[in-house]
Structure 1
Amino acid sequence: MRKRGLITLVAVGLASSVLPAATASAAGNPLTLAVFGDSPYGKSAYAPAGQTADTSQFQKTPAFIGTINSDPTVSDVIQVGDIHSGKEFCTEAYDASIASAWQTFAKPLVYTPGDNEWADCHKASSVTSPGQGGGFYDPASGSINYIGTNGVSTDPADCVSYRCGNPLDNLAKVRQDFFAQPGRTLGNGELNVVSQATAYDPSHPADAQYAENVMWAQNDIVFVTVNVPGGSNNDTDPWYKVPTATRAQTDERTGRTAADVRWLDAAFAEARAEHAKGVVISAQADMWDLDGKTKDHLANYEPIISEIASRTTEFNRPVLMLNGDSHLYRSDNPLSPTAPCTGETDPATGAGVCAHDPGDNAWNEHPYYNVPNFHRVVVHGSTTPLEWLKLTADPNANHPVTDTTYGPFSWQRMPQPQL
């Protein structure tokens, strides 16, 4: 198989080295990728709540994968997180079922975890609102009521979700199922990516745990993924609704965020060293989505947004960010106070998705930056018809900023009406 996009990082300080000659033949040619996320969504069966299962999207997944496999122009696939909904329990069996389904991709698949498969697994409100099967704090007893097989329970042995929805345990399970071999992509075919698990900064050896953070280069474009879960970066919503976030939760967010920042810094260093024509960042979180909450709910994304803004400005070439999380397709630049925003209509309100923000501009959620060489696309997810984004990166192109083009990048939505 042809090797594509191998980056070699010098161990000391993550200094980037020259890309091998094997990638030179692809340089200058257009590259097409399929991008999707927040899929397949459904609902877990739970008898105490009278809740029946909905697996319709999961049943459509083989045909969905088939539409991507059948497109001869697609070289790689990116999944931007959330392999199930917030109404599905976090279980070993479900994670394994997705890992098995993804083995049928004919192309290499790069995946970054979403909040629903780990950070939010603890969430539940009551026996009639079991959420992801975790649990909820009982102020009267000072204990956690878990969602058990026959109703709420204080016995962890009764939990319906993996490890009672503990986020750290569920993230470890995601790594076991999807990142057991750091630097190896999912699906089929060969795409040479570098994982933070093997190319971490030696000054920060704990960064080796973030096997899900990868980078690679193809056709004069540098790609990088970072584990940034939606909601509040796994910190503003205390696990199990306890009064104050635990030390374990705070340490998780602090450690991962710092590792993400270092990994982004390494990716941009590589892009500068290789004179890349652009950078593509993939993460699950829509870090500008208020979701009906106050701006404080997004504050823990600030270190990552600040890093992206500063490195993008320094790079001075086009940077494209791909994320899911907020479900509605959107094309904008949330790092500019004047950039236009376009997107699909929110079926819940009948208004355009940009109207979610004051002044129709997500810049208002973090009004600190003015970075013109940045663009962001939110991929559609969670509802049928299932949809993927067809992204083309042409290093020789210089498209104007429109709702479907930016610099070397152009894209089109690919809804699958037959599904």
Structure 2
Amino acid sequence: MNIARPLLALLVSATLLPDAVAGSFSFGLWGDMPYEKNNDAQTTAAVIRSIDRSDVAFSIFDGDIKDGSSACTDEVFSRTAKTFNAMKAPMVYVPGDNEWTDCHRKNNGGWNNLERLDTLRKLMFADGRSFGRRKLTLEHQDAPFVENTRFHKGGIVFSQVNVAGSNNNRVLDEKECSTKSARSAADCEADNAEYAARNAAVNRWIEESFAQARQRKAKGLVLTLQADPGFDLPETEELDEAKTRGWNRPESGYKDLMDTVIRETRAFDGQVLFVHGDTHVFKLDKPLHAPLDLLPNFTRLQTFGSPNNHWVHVTVNTRRPEVFTVRPVMIKAD
């Protein structure tokens, strides 16, 4: 009996299986780099080389292409786009606060931060594709919110939204408006109008992403944004956990976001991986809601950031109940 031919056919057929059937691929997560004030150029280059040498199908950068005390020039965008486009695999960009929300600060050059957002949209989302030498075709939300993107791979929905640090561009009072800032009262009114419109658009985009995931019977959904909405609890037993989380405070610019994410996660049978940067410390946990009311299918992944410039490798295997396996990749500059 000749078993070589059927064995060879089996190996070939396994190799040719599409992602949705094979159920396994990997992607990378990184962000909050390079910061010029931390002399990050070498370590950021080492992160990129490591990602390029890895097996990832693509990577996602979760915001902050510069530090928060440097000028918000067009050159920062063009230089970053060139770096991203030189990467081997597709690279999906998510905006951070340092490249638009905080640009009104005097140490950032005192720009109009809404003009910086318009420029970011024009320069970083010029067409319907990702960055990288190989590119992904992305679905974009209607203008002006073109930075909210989405794509699908291997039974997983990937959704990226512009939710930035510094309270998501929501201005609370006159003092916050003017402190270390070049803004006028009219500028801050415009910021709050921008926040309200984008906040509504982001929540619609997230709802649509979950609807697509349910329709496709997706095993998982990855939601990526820049801001840390306030997952971590103060270590004080007397405080009510549900009220002291950052997004539950009345002044939070993230309450609507988290209410939507929680509601949609409860209505989704698959796993949700919530990815953010902003705090620069790697964390992987299940922070929702309270110990007696855990959302078992929700996992928070907080990525590294300057000066701790490393990246995160995620393996997707839709045949495993947890779907996502996360591994931090520690980098030393060559």
Q: Structure 2-normalised TM-score?
A: 0.83
Q: Does 1:334 align with 2:287?
A: yes
Match of 1:196 in 2: 141
**What is the identity, as a one-letter code, of the residue corresponding to 1:103?**
N
When the two chains are superposed, the root-mean-square deviation of aligned CA atoms in Å is 2.5
Deviation at 1:111, TM superposition (A): 0.7
Relative distance call for 1:24 and 1:413 in structure 2 (3 A) is: same
Of the candidates 229, 234, 238, which is equivalent to residue 169 of structure 2? 234
Q: Does 1:266 align with 2:208?
A: yes
* CA shift digits 1:347-405 (9 cap, x unpaired): xxxxxxxxxxxxxxxxxxxxxx7533211010010114x2010011111112xxxxxxx
* CA shift digits 1:225-255 (9 cap, x unpaired): 1100012111136444368673211110000
Q: Give, in whole Å, the separation in 2 of the partners of 1:79 and 1:413.
A: 15
Of the candidates 135, 143, 151, which is equivalent to residue 216 of structure 1? 151
The aligned runs of 1:9-408 (5 Å cut-off) are: 25-28=18-21, 29-43=23-37, 56-71=39-54, 73-124=55-106, 130=107, 132-134=108-110, 165-181=111-127, 183-197=128-142, 208-236=143-171, 238-241=176-179, 246-288=188-230, 295=246, 296=249, 299-338=252-291, 370-384=294-308, 386-398=309-321, 407-408=322-323
Asked if the contact 2:220–2:271 (Cα under 8 Å) also holds between the matched residues in 1, the reply is: yes
Deviation at 1:336, TM superposition (A): 2.0
More helix per residue? 2
Bigger Cα displacement from structure 2, 254-263 vs 372-381: 372-381
Asked if the contact 2:171–2:192 (Cα under 8 Å) also holds between the matched residues in 1, the reply is: no
- For the residue of structure 1 that corresponds to 2:295, the secondary structure is coil
Q: Give, in whole Å, the separation in 2 of the partners of 1:239 and 1:116.
A: 17
- For the residue of structure 2 that corresponds to 1:187, the secondary structure is coil
Asked if the contact 1:30–1:395 (Cα under 8 Å) also holds between the matched residues in 2, the reply is: yes
Relative distance call for 1:387 and 1:298 in structure 2 (3 A) is: farther
Asked if the contact 2:171–2:188 (Cα under 8 Å) also holds between the matched residues in 1, the reply is: no
* CA shift digits 1:163-209 (9 cap, x unpaired): xx21111111111221011x211112132221113xxxxxxxxxx21
Q: Structure 2: any 5+ residue segments left out of the alignment? A: 1-15, 235-243
**What is the identity, as a one-letter code, of the residue corresponding to 1:280?**
V
Relative distance call for 1:79 and 1:32 in structure 2 (3 A) is: same
Structure with the greater relative contact order (CA < 8 A, sep ≥ 6): 1 or 2? 2
Asked if the contact 2:42–2:333 (Cα under 8 Å) also holds between the matched residues in 1, the reply is: no
**What is the identity, as a one-letter code, of the residue corresponding to 2:263?**
S
Q: Structure 1-normalised TM-score?
A: 0.67
Asked if the contact 1:37–1:83 (Cα under 8 Å) also holds between the matched residues in 2, the reply is: yes
Q: Give, in whole Å, the separation in 2 of the partners of 1:268 and 1:311.
A: 7
Relative distance call for 1:80 and 1:224 in structure 2 (3 A) is: same
Q: Give, in whole Å, the separation in 2 of the partners of 1:96 and 1:291.
A: 39
Q: Structure 1: any 5+ residue segments left out of the alignment? A: 1-22, 44-53, 125-129, 135-164, 198-207, 340-368, 399-406
